[in-house]
Chain A
Amino acid sequence: MASLIALAVFYLAAVFADFLSPYPYDNEERSHPNAPPTPLRFRRADGSARFLPFVYRTSYTFDENRGRVYVEDRSAEYPIRFFIPGEEHRILGLIPTRIHFFGVDAPARIYLLGADYLGRDRFSRILYGSRISLSIGLVGVSVSFVIGMLVGGIAGYFGGAVDNALMRVVEMVMLIPRFYLLLALRAALPEDISSVRMYFYIVFILSFLGWAGTARVVRGMVLSLREQDYVIAARALGRGHLWVIVRHILPNTLSYAIVSVTLAVPSGILGESALSLLGLGIQEPYASWGNMLAKAMNVAEIQFNPEVLWPGAFIFAVVMCFQFLGDGLRDAFDPMMEASGVKS
């Protein structure tokens, strides 16, 4: 249940990313490369306390080792303000506004999780990136489940030659290692395309990956369901095959489907991250958790900017949440499944 709430928070944050983040994803401040998280101060330079935290303006110099040393300019305080006007955006894509949930006045910058090499706020980019990373997994996996259930339903319902043919196809797809299939599909698509189209391509790729397993399980369930009285009754009443499959058989497999969709979403998120990490997915300046994490592939970089690992922490958290949610749902559905079995 806690994971459901956590996921709700993640998805809400994704939806309201432009309002919650202090800066747009491509807002650069080139004088702040790889800035560390901005320290929030409660105590003024003269020792007196402030109720609301404030930040100082920072600037950097190279030390003798070419490390960047950031120093605070203590002459002016920039309090953190809520509902502060900033760059224009549209809440839910509809309501134009300049108000951001929080921020500081220019020229100071607030970097809760540090900045990347162009001085873009990592926190804002993680929020924007969650739109892509969270939705792409969900959409991709949903599509693959629709395909999987249809194929499984048809195979199980008709049986015989149809079943045989479809299951062989499924086995072919399952034979190929997932990650290589992912790379192969990416390689088969055109190279020079815009990021928006790339998003849809990745959805397509991800939906191509997951359907085979679902199809197999659903087929097994349908094999027994099609012998149920209500199926025979529906057929006797002259309903078409597709109607029977979609209206009478598949709803009975839905509890299974919901659980496994939940458990499969993380693989979608990880698939997108893997592609973007390798530079083959979403491209900068657009943010996705995978392409943000690509900077962490450099050992020296991690040593001096451990903040580059933050997107990884978010991926970890979301994947965990989905796993727990899936487990919880299975426990919740199991008794119902048995009950429905007895009832019929």
Chain B
Amino acid sequence: MKPQFNIIPVIVICLCALVSCRRTQPNAAPQKPPEASEAQNKSGVSEHPKAYVPVVGKRGGEWLNATISGPKSFNAVVSNETSTGSAIGPIFEGLTTADPDTLMPQPKLAESWHFAEDGSSCTFNLRAGVKWNDGMPFTADDVVFTYEKLYLNPEIPNSTGDILTIEDKRPKVVKVDELTVRFDLPWKYAPFVRAMSADILPLHKLGNLSAAEFQHHWGLDTPPSELVGTGPFKLVSYEPEQRLIYERNPHYWKKDAAGNQLPYLDRYITSIVKDLNVAYLKFKNKETDVYGLRPEDFQVLNPLQKQNDFTIYRLGPGTGCSFVFFNQNTNSNSETGKPFVQPHKLKWFRDARFRRAVAHALDRDTMINNVLYGLACPQYGPMTISEGFFFNPDVKKYDFDKRKSKALLAEMGFKDVDGDKVLEDEQGNKLQFTMLTNVENNVRVSLANIIAKDLKDLGMEINFQPMPFNPIVAKLDASYDWECVLLGLTGGPEPHFGSNIWTSRAYHHMWFPSQKMPSSDWEARIDELFTLGVQELDPEKRKVYYDEWQVISSEQLPLIYTVVQEMIVAVRNRFGNIHPTPHGGVTHNLEEIFVKE
């Protein structure tokens, strides 16, 4: 009865998001991040009001934003890049949603839910009177169809289905009556309600498609009127590489406190621009209403707030991080028989002392002050403070102290025998390796330069190579022939959704993927903690497991975390009900945003 997790390739996309991690987030409508409890409020920068109570607004107006990557598809099930997610975000809704401040699940299409006494099922009461944007009523049939035929269909590989599948066992979805749905669960699953935030799709539009047909359905060539959702807006036009235009959904179910139908805005327009410089200039020239700032933009935009009538919101540390990690793969290439990592290097990389030595050589102050204009914080563990409840601040922290690094390396037997300023191990192998990072991300390249220089000072001969993102992913996922990489991931408030990275069987267990048996004791313990954590329904008890996971990861350092950037967005003052949060971005309450006067 020991459930083991299937490999859950959810954060594949996070991997994709890594490339765009820094590139999409500072964009209009940052989709990811959560609650920041320590929004530093200096220099007259507005802090969002803690308790958000929407005011009654009025109809009309448009919201303009810009993104640097357009959608790759409109299919919410199959495709899950950030760009697609933000393009279909205003059109569809899930049963639940995460509260932008507390991050707790909130009702959306489901009005309420309750678990059976023994935890074997969960029943959702759907909201009455909800209509699709073509006027058809939304019923339990749509929910059953979306989960049974799409997300939980083994013939359609998708991340929601993977999250909900444990040991090949999937929940069964049963229609109780027109507005009630019951999920029969084969296992105890703590974050179940949170996982129910996946978009619900219309049975009357998609019901007659086979699984194979569905996977290619709703591509970019779909007529906008076919994209039928329950969300506040509907797509009216998509011009590739130019813009997406949405109009208000006249059938939207939500009403404001005065009983007026939402949304307030008539139109929502996203321009697709070439790069962040263009997005920045567009905002500065008042062509867009919202912009996610890069650290260097702050000094330009901050003084312009009054004059150009916008407000900058500093939301505290985001959830996108950057970390260094080493290849610990003990396997060999099955075709050539060559080990993925040279054996003597593998011995260094698998030694926690080596990774700790590197951790002590990370000059986080320089990274923060020189590259990120002081708008970042050091990060030591796998979760950030903005990820809320499960964040454990008491992980092992590594100060910047090269003497400690040198002592650790000396303890491992490294010595500069031939006096060329490069250390040799006891067998006389030179301490040299190649470090990769993706060239598209300027910040990451700068961080890598700082790291490379400090490691060089320690006596490591580093060959630093920025290269395009896709070849790096190919190395990480398929050919495994890499030594050291600096990359990032976007996290979330629910640690279990990181199990596709952290459990040793996982395909994206980046430092040694798809292990049959955990290759070390601490990896075995992390596997165990994730298994325990997902089945424990009491949040306080769950937190104990995930706290231990964070401590182990900070001691063993499979991923050596560097810094996490602050999230900063600027929004024009003419809008009401603006309440940006790190997790929800600016547009989590899009339907309530209105144009003042």
Q: Which residues of A contact B (CB under 8 A)?
A: 26, 28, 30, 33-34, 62-68, 117-119, 191-194, 278-280, 283-285, 297-301, 303-304
Contacts and interface: CB of A to CB of B under 8 A. Distances in A.
B467 A192 contact: yes
B556 interface: no
B465 A192 contact: yes
Contacts of B375: 66
B445 interface: yes
A62 B373 CA distance: 8
Contact of B302 (A34, A64, A284, A285): A64
Interface in B339-373: 363, 366, 369-371, 373
B465 A193 contact: yes
A66 B106 CA distance: 37
A280 B290 CA distance: 33
B299 A300 contact: yes
Contacts of A192: 434, 436, 463, 465, 467
A118 B298 contact: no
Given A117-B446, A301-B296, 17 more contacts: A33-B370, A34-B370, A64-B302, A65-B302, A65-B303, A66-B373, A117-B371, A119-B370, A192-B436, A192-B463, A193-B463, A279-B445, A283-B465, A284-B464, A299-B280, A300-B297, A304-B296
B44 interface: yes
A128 B49 CA distance: 52
Q: Is the interface of B mostly helix, strand, loop or mixed?
A: helix
B314 to A, nearest CB: 10
B374 interface: yes
B447 to A, nearest CB: 11
Interface string B453-496: 10000000001111110010000000000000000000000000
B449 A30 contact: no
Interface in B423-451: 434, 436, 439, 442, 445-446, 449-450
B102 interface: no
Contacts of A299: 277, 280-281
B42 interface: yes
A202 B135 CA distance: 62
Contact of A194 (B44, B295, B452, B463): B463
Nearest to A63: B299
B520 interface: no
Nearest to A187: B468
B300 interface: yes
Main secondary structure of the interface of A (DSSP, over half): loop
B471 A191 contact: yes
Contact of A304 (B281, B300, B465): B300
A300 B296 contact: yes
Contacts, number: 82
Contact of A118 (B366, B439, B445): B366
A213 to B, nearest CB: 31
B43 interface: yes
Contact of A65 (B299, B370, B452, B468): B299
A194 B366 CA distance: 25
Contacts of B374: 62, 66
A298 B281 CA distance: 11
19 contacts: A33-B369, A34-B370, A65-B298, A65-B299, A66-B298, A66-B299, A66-B302, A66-B375, A118-B370, A118-B453, A191-B468, A192-B463, A279-B439, A299-B281, A300-B280, A300-B294, A300-B297, A301-B296, A304-B296
B363 A30 contact: yes
A62 B376 CA distance: 14
Interface size class of B (residues with CB under 8 A): 35 or more
6 tightest A-B CB contacts, nearest first: A64-B43, A33-B370, A67-B299, A279-B439, A65-B302, A191-B467
B494 to A, nearest CB: 33
Nearest to A299: B277
B304 to A, nearest CB: 10
Contacts of B299: 63, 65-67, 300, 304
A28 B294 CA distance: 24
A283 B452 CA distance: 12
Contacts of A283: 464-466
A210 to B, nearest CB: 26
Contact of B370 (A30, A193, A278, A285): A30
B285 to A, nearest CB: 12
Interface of B: 42-44, 277, 280-281, 294-300, 302-303, 363, 366, 369-371, 373-375, 434, 436, 439, 442, 445-446, 449-450, 452-453, 463-468, 471
A270 B446 CA distance: 24
A190 to B, nearest CB: 10
Contacts of B42: 64
B300 A300 contact: yes
Contacts of A297: 277
A298 B363 CA distance: 24
A279 B466 contact: yes
A250 B453 CA distance: 49
Nearest to B293: A300
A150 B445 CA distance: 42
Contacts of A298: 277, 296, 442
Contacts of B449: 118, 284-285
Most chain-B CB neighbours within 10 Å: which of A28, A279, A300, A301?
A: A300
A40 to B, nearest CB: 25
Contacts of B465: 191-193, 283
A284 B462 CA distance: 12
A233 B298 CA distance: 77
Contacts of A34: 370
B450 A118 contact: yes
B373 A26 contact: no
Nearest to A197: B463
A300 B452 CA distance: 26
Contacts of A62: 373-374
A280 B439 contact: yes
A34 B468 CA distance: 27
Contacts of A64: 42-44, 302
A30 B370 CA distance: 7
B69 to A, nearest CB: 18
Contact of A66 (B281, B295, B363): B295
A38 B436 CA distance: 35
Contacts of B366: 30, 118
A195 B528 CA distance: 44
A283 B453 CA distance: 13
B281 to A, nearest CB: 6
Contacts of B370: 30, 33-34, 117-119
A205 B179 CA distance: 67
Given A30-B363, A280-B439, A303 B300 contact: yes
Contacts of A63: 299
A194 B280 CA distance: 35
A267 B373 CA distance: 36
B277 A285 contact: no
Contacts of A194: 463
A302 to B, nearest CB: 10
Contacts of B466: 279, 283
Contacts of A284: 445, 449, 464
A191 to B, nearest CB: 4
A192 B363 CA distance: 25
Nearest to B463: A194
B210 to A, nearest CB: 39
A65 B281 CA distance: 18
Contacts of A28: 453
A17 to B, nearest CB: 20
A300 B297 CA distance: 6
